[in-house]
Structure 1
Amino acid sequence: MKSFVLILALLSLTISMPAQTSDGDFSFAYEGNAQKRERLADLQGSSQPPALELSAWLNSEGFSLEDLKGKVVVLDFWATWCGPCIASIPKNNKLQERFKDELVLIGICNPRGAENMEQVVQSKGIRYPVAVDPEGATIEAYGVNGFPDYYIIDPNGVLVVADCTNSQVAAVVERLLAKVPEPALPQADASQDAQSSSSTSSL
């Protein structure tokens, strides 16, 4: 009888659990429908993502993607005039701090307004590396179509998510590093976070 009750309990638990995306499948984090993602066809899953053509690094010496093999890399395409980008800074700081030994988050600043980058870094307390895309070449190479846009590269150098849904960045990093997710935000904070994460500024 006890065995029968245990089996029923296990079945009930299995049915109530949400379906999980299989390891290696990050489609749950893709931003945009298939039509909007056509521009990313050659990027998604690439083992040779475009080089970072950046300058005026702050909070770090300059990196190449080759330098960062062995770590998860999050590219945050942002702009100093982009409200949702500024709102995302605390979350970016928290993510970098949480995975500081296994993750490098790089803020790639739009050249328009880049003269204000250092002031924004200081006033908003950005603690991760940032740099300017002086000619917009890196933005163009990655098919960025709004700000902020996040692109995530695994420790093997594979671009596993080209244009990640903003609210799913931490989930992708957690999966890549096989980490336990953080507890859910309180309801009020979660609603505010979702509103901020879903907002983008167009090019």
Structure 2
Amino acid sequence: MSDRAKTWLAALLALGALGLLLFSVRSVNVADEAGLTLRPAAQAEPASDFTLPDAATGRPVHLLAEARAHPVVLDFWATWCGPCREELPSLNRVAHKYAGRAAFYGVNSHDRPADIRAFARLYGMTFPTLSDARHDVASQYGADALPTLVIIDTRGNVRVASAGYDPQLDLEAALSRILDALLAGNPRHAARV
């Protein structure tokens, strides 16, 4: 390989590393300045419907069918995302607290189902993860930064969409207030959490 080709190869590798660094920095953005904010029903947008397979069982999950029964929390994540791992214990506790009253699903468009299952076992993930292999659902929900939390009410409307993880935010308390308000049918109590 000529010196010129080696120089170009080194430049391309450096550019690729810079791109990867910028992408990973984007994944650690903290939650928006307002924290997790419950949108008033009148301002909520309809959720994009989808059916995705559960990474552990292969069983198809139809989003709006789930949302008709109870609020749905979607957590867009990846195995390599540090902030995703940091928020997981809080999500596990809230998922356990609201079992039977709210549905929690991880949505992963970055990893193979086998890697998702291994991660779930290793980190004690208590709620199912859906495999979004074509990245369609993440794109529909604008989940460009990880983690991204989306909460859908029983009318099928997106009431919360928040990208990033803020370690200063009491995620467990914020999610509990939002879910309590949605379950009570009176979201005014949690207009800002």
Aligning the two structures, in what range does the TM-score lie when normalised by the shorter sequence? 0.5 to 0.7
Q: Does the C-alpha gap of structure 1 residues 77 and 152 become closer, same or farther in structure 2, counting only changes over 3 Å?
A: same
1:87 aligns with 2:68: no
Stretches of 4+ aligned residues off by more than 6 angstroms: none
**Paired position in structure 1 for 2:141:** 142
Q: Does the 8 Å CA contact 1:81/1:113 hold for their aligned counterparts?
A: no
Residues matched between the structures, number: 140
1:119 aligns with 2:89: no
RMSD over aligned Cα atoms:
2.7
The unaligned stretches of length 5 or more in structure 2 are 1-33, 166-170, 186-193
Task: Provide the rounded CA distance (Å) in 1 between the counterparts of 2:178 and 2:164.
Answer: 10
Residue 119 of structure 2 aligns to a residue in which SS?
helix
Q: Cα distance, 1:173 vs. partner?
A: 1.3
Task: Provide the rounded CA distance (Å) in 2 between the counterparts of 1:176 and 1:60.
Answer: 30
Q: Does the C-alpha gap of structure 1 residues 172 and 165 become closer, same or farther in structure 2, counting only changes over 3 Å?
A: farther
Higher helix share: 2
Task: Provide the rounded CA distance (Å) in 2 between the counterparts of 1:71 and 1:123.
Answer: 29
The unaligned stretches of length 5 or more in structure 1 are 1-26, 32-43, 180-203
1:64 corresponds, among 52, 62, 65, to 62
Task: Provide the rounded CA distance (Å) in 2 between the counterparts of 1:165 and 1:138.
Answer: 17
**Paired position in structure 1 for 2:128:** 129
Task: Provide the rounded CA distance (Å) in 2 between the counterparts of 1:175 and 1:135.
Answer: 34
1:170 corresponds, among 163, 176, 182, to 176
Structure-1-length-normalised TM-score: 0.60
**Paired position in structure 1 for 2:26:** none
Amino acid at match of 1:29: L
Q: Does the 8 Å CA contact 2:109/2:131 hold for their aligned counterparts?
A: yes
Q: What fraction of aligned residue pairs are identical, expressed as a percent?
A: 24
Greater relative contact order structure (CA < 8 Å, 6+ sep): 2
Task: Provide the rounded CA distance (Å) in 2 between the counterparts of 1:107 and 1:174.
Answer: 20
Q: Does the 8 Å CA contact 1:80/1:113 hold for their aligned counterparts?
A: no
